[in-house]
Structure 1
Amino acid sequence: MGRLQKILIPFAGLVLAFWFYSAREDFKPEMLKGKRVIVTGASSGIGEQMAYHLAQMGSHLLITARTEAKLQKVVARCLELGAASAQHVSGSMEDTAFAEHVVKEAEELLGGLDMLILNHIGSSYFHYFDGDVGHVRKLLETNFLSYVAMTVSALPMLKESGGSIVVVSSMAGKVGFPFTVPYSATKFALDGFFSSLRQEFALQNTNISITLCILGFINTDSAMKAAADVVLIPPAPKEECALEIIKGGALRQREVYYKYATIKFSLLLRDWAADLLDYLIRREYNLENLEKK
């Protein structure tokens, strides 16, 4: 016991010292005033709510998604809420050329970029994996490769501004969940790419922050339609989730967890009791309702 204390007490001291040293300032909405921000997947769900929060904070916005009519409505609402400016470009992120085009539009329309929020996802199914390799490949194009393409295109502007990259991911990119195999694969890929890129930025003294956002079950229309009658845990509100993502990006946090306690406890179990976590996850589904789909 004495030896254990000799190890644990200095270790605890180091952890506390690091926590105090790395503590960030409190979030203030004015941090985003006048900032030039791209938000992808902004016609609905979390992306739409992020656009509204940023508009209220006085940001310059360029939003993108597939549906022109929905984007027009979001832009109009952003201007009503006080955005410094709000514009949109519509198209599909299945084509990495479009992803690069969005960044070029930001350069022309906004004159630079302070924050790149990558939030879009391609459509997938919520069911047992059907063995369709082509679907996995297509989803990787949208959920992963377009993120890479936009990041690469945005790096010159972000280096100039000392800006931020915010990557909206999921618990399905940290832990294996059933019924989301293709989706989960793309989210794990995001974690690997952006966590490694963050390390290279540190080695090269590149002043760009990367915030990876680990989300649980959120009450977006698409998530509720796909899984509300199967997942037994209550969904969290997309409005609050969107604000937490923005706060994390503005404070240049390494990772954002929403909701925090649930996500952190699950990650702790993943590292110390993986079999128990797997068992608890399997108990969170109504398989009878799944079979009815």
Structure 2
Amino acid sequence: MGHFTKILLASICVGLVAVRWTAPTFDAESLSGARVLVTGASTGIGEQIAYHYARFGARIVITARREKVLQQVAEKCMSLGAQEALYVAADMGNELDPDKVVDFALEKLGGLDYMVLNHIGPSPFSMWNGDVEHVRWLMKVNFFSYIQMAWKSLESLERSKGSLVIVSSLLGKMTSPFVAPYTSTKSALNGFFGSLHHELSMKKSNVSITLCTLGLIDTEAAMEKVREITSVPAYPASEAALNIVTAGAMRQAEVFYPWTTYVVTISKDWFPSLTDYIIQNTYKYNP
């Protein structure tokens, strides 16, 4: 190992240790009574996010498309300790619904301290077949509705010194096969909210932005898609959700879950050919 490489690796280790020991600690009491909006909360990661906020005693508004399922999640949130748990059904592919949801949360909660944007539209796990209309629709759901809701909520979050929490994906930082439409939406999220983070900081805004980079999570929807196609390990949705909630509460600019996703993003830049080889041989392709 060369002298420069040793110095570089030592510097990275020192930097990681410094971040570890200087990072703020999570104060669970800070979420008691917090006013929270969680999207995509009927199942999967969003559902688990809602449950964690409930355990910390937050006041919660949840949204997704299926009203009956939302009602069940809201009832469970109350049983877990939420001070309030309300729901509103919405379709983020409808241009009016993102604003409707934010207006509902602002009216019912009297403002927002946290907005967790987590919803996604369904997309096939397969080779892209040239369906441009699907990509356009998915961008509306997975991207444009996010920026619409962020803008609608900024004034309230500014007053409360609140946080925007954006649930993204490792696939927004590095590409892989079978997910071209989905990856494009997550890349757009990273670019937009990364830029907005700089702008808010330059304006000395009270609003923090947390970008959440997730690996493969063991939600039912994800597991159904990747079964027998990839050997990539999946991680528990509840633990991913807890990382998202605590990162937002600590106003972290970015969180990676599991931690190996951070290593993978580095390997892409340092060893691009090797990373491509590993990715392409991690998935099964049957033409």
- TM-score interval (norm. to shorter): over 0.9
Question: Superposition pairs for residues 76-87 of structure 1, below 5 Å?
Answer: 76-87=75-86
Provide Cα deviations, 1:231-282, integer angstroms capped at 9, x if missing partner. Answer: 212210101111011111111111111111x212111111111111111111
Structure 2 equivalent of residue 39 of structure 1: 38
Cα distance in 2 between the residues matched to 1:229 and 1:32:
40
Structure 2 equivalent of residue 171 of structure 1: 170
- Which amino acid is 2:283 matched to? Y
Asked whether the 8 Å contact 1:232–1:286 carries over to 2, the reply is no
- The SS at the match of 2:96 is helix
Structure 1 equivalent of residue 125 of structure 2: 126
Asked whether the 8 Å contact 1:96–1:145 carries over to 2, the reply is no
Provide Cα deviations, 1:79-130, integer angstroms capped at 9, x if missing partner. Answer: 0111010000001000232101111111110001000000000011000001
Provide Cα deviations, 1:178-228, integer angstroms capped at 9, x if missing partner. Answer: 000000000000000000000000110011111111111111111011112
Residues 264 and 18 of structure 1, relative CA distance in 2, 3 Å threshold = closer
- Which amino acid is 2:69 matched to? K
Gaps of 5+ in 1: none
- Which amino acid is 2:152 matched to? S
Structure 1 equivalent of residue 87 of structure 2: 88
Cα distance in 1 between the residues matched to 2:244 and 2:204:
25
Cα distance in 2 between the residues matched to 1:190 and 1:17:
26
- The SS at the match of 1:193 is helix
- The SS at the match of 1:153 is helix
Deviation at 1:31, TM superposition (A): 2.0
Cα distance in 2 between the residues matched to 1:32 and 1:71:
22
Cα distance in 2 between the residues matched to 1:20 and 1:124:
37
The percent of aligned pairs where both chains have the same amino acid is 44
Deviation at 1:287, TM superposition (A): 2.4
- The SS at the match of 2:190 is helix
Cα distance in 2 between the residues matched to 1:287 and 1:17:
38
Structure 1 equivalent of residue 280 of structure 2: 282
User: Does residue 69 of structure 2 align to residue 70 of structure 1?
Assistant: yes
Question: Superposition pairs for residues 182-197 of structure 1, below 5 Å?
Answer: 182-197=181-196
- The SS at the match of 1:103 is helix
- Which amino acid is 2:267 matched to? L
Asked whether the 8 Å contact 1:100–1:150 carries over to 2, the reply is yes
Residues 183 and 4 of structure 1, relative CA distance in 2, 3 Å threshold = closer
With normalisation by structure 2, the TM-score equals 0.94
Residues 253 and 22 of structure 1, relative CA distance in 2, 3 Å threshold = farther
With normalisation by structure 1, the TM-score equals 0.92
CA RMSD, Structure 1 to Structure 2 (Å): 2.4
Structure 2 equivalent of residue 257 of structure 1: 256
Structure 2 equivalent of residue 221 of structure 1: 220
Structure 1 equivalent of residue 154 of structure 2: 155
Cα distance in 2 between the residues matched to 1:43 and 1:87:
12
- Which amino acid is 1:47 matched to? G
Residues 35 and 274 of structure 1, relative CA distance in 2, 3 Å threshold = same
Structure 1 equivalent of residue 271 of structure 2: 273
Q: How many aligned positions are there?
A: 286
- Which amino acid is 2:171 matched to? A
- The SS at the match of 2:175 is coil
Gaps of 5+ in 2: none
Asked whether the 8 Å contact 1:96–1:146 carries over to 2, the reply is yes
Deviation at 1:40, TM superposition (A): 0.2
Cα distance in 1 between the residues matched to 2:274 and 2:28:
40
Question: Superposition pairs for residues 23-38 of structure 1, below 5 Å?
Answer: 23-38=22-37
Deviation at 1:230, TM superposition (A): 0.9
Structure 1 window deviating more from structure 2 (131-140 vs 276-285): it is: 276-285
Residues 140 and 116 of structure 1, relative CA distance in 2, 3 Å threshold = same
Cα distance in 2 between the residues matched to 1:132 and 1:233:
27
Provide Cα deviations, 1:136-163, integer angstroms capped at 9, x if missing partner. Answer: 0000000000000000000000000010
Cα distance in 2 between the residues matched to 1:190 and 1:22:
29
Asked whether the 8 Å contact 2:90–2:101 carries over to 1, the reply is no
Tell me which stretches of 4 or more aligned residues in structure 1 moved more than 3 Å. Answer: 15-22
Cα distance in 1 between the residues matched to 2:124 and 2:253:
30
Cα distance in 2 between the residues matched to 1:17 and 1:195:
21
- The SS at the match of 1:124 is coil
